[in-house]
Amino acid sequence: MDAVTHLGSPTLPGLHALVAQRGGWKGVAQARLAVSLADSATRSTWESRLRVCYVVEARLPRPRVNLPVFDRDGRLLGIPDLLDEEAGFVVEFDGQQHRLRRQHRDDNLREELFESAGLTVTRADSLDLAHYRSDLVRRLIDGRAGLRRDRRHDRWTTVPPPWWFAANDSAEVLTDAEKEEIFGRYDT
């Protein structure tokens, strides 16, 4: 569902309208649930699975997906996979490419930027989702519950600075390769 709506056709509002009109269809309850959980800003199936685990199994508030985060000076800190703005909690999914040395280094630097701005980061990978799910759910709940923060001390924002060109739809959200091409590496 995420991947299809990420491309822009069909749209999530269109799917919501469709399933709302089809009360008698077989499987419409499951379709409504799937549409309610979908997010067109999602960039991978594993990221979708992580978000659904966060919301359905950990019963945590729906996070923002691939939302740019900036420091107070307007510098892009990164675009986390999942962001719970209320808690200042970032959850990142690490696919296979994140084990490559350069990508792993870039991930570490981005995580340090998030944490130095006052965000807490939890990482997960396919093993967590496939084989250690209950541990992952506990880590997500504990990670968010342990965050007792005073927003006055936040050194981050999701309000884009004037130089940022805000995308009107999720299909225009930058990929990591596009971000690198435009902004350079995170370690600049």
Q: How confident is the model at residue 22 (pLDDT cuts 50, 70, 90)?
A: confident
- Percentage with pLDDT > 70 across the chain: 78
Tell me what pLDDT residue 148 has: 66
User: The CATH number of 41-183 is which of 2.70.50, 1.10.3470, 3.40.960, 1.10.10?
Assistant: 3.40.960
Query: Considering the chain, what is the average pLDDT of its residues?
Result: 82
Q: Which H helix or E strand runs over 71?
A: strand 69-71
**Residues 71 and 102 sit within 8 Å (Cβ to Cβ):** no
Q: What is the pTM of this model?
A: 0.78
In angstroms, rounded to a whole number, what is the distance separating the alpha carbons of residues 73 and 70? 8
Token pair of 55 as six digits: 């919301």
pLDDT digits (tens, 9 = 90+) for 140-184: 999 898 666 677 788 999 999 988 875 434 445 556 665 555 555
Q: Provide the residue ranges of all domains of the chain, joining segments of one domain with +.
A: 1-40, 41-183
Token pair of 14 as six digits: 């269109």
Question: In the chain, which residue ranges form alpha helices assigned H by DSSP?
Answer: 2-6, 12-21, 28-37, 45-52, 101-116, 126-130, 133-145, 176-183
pLDDT digits (tens, 9 = 90+) for 25-70: 788 777 777 767 778 788 888 999 999 999 999 999 999 999 999 9
| CA-based nearest residue to 65, from 92, 41, 93, 91 | 41
Q: State yes or no: cis peptide before 161, omega within 30 of 0.
A: no
141-173 burial: b if 16+ Cβ within 10 Å, else e: eebbeeeeeeeeeeebbeeeeeeeeeeeebeeb
Q: What is the CA radius of gyration of the chain?
A: 17
Torsion angles phi and psi, residue 2, rounded to 5: -60, -50
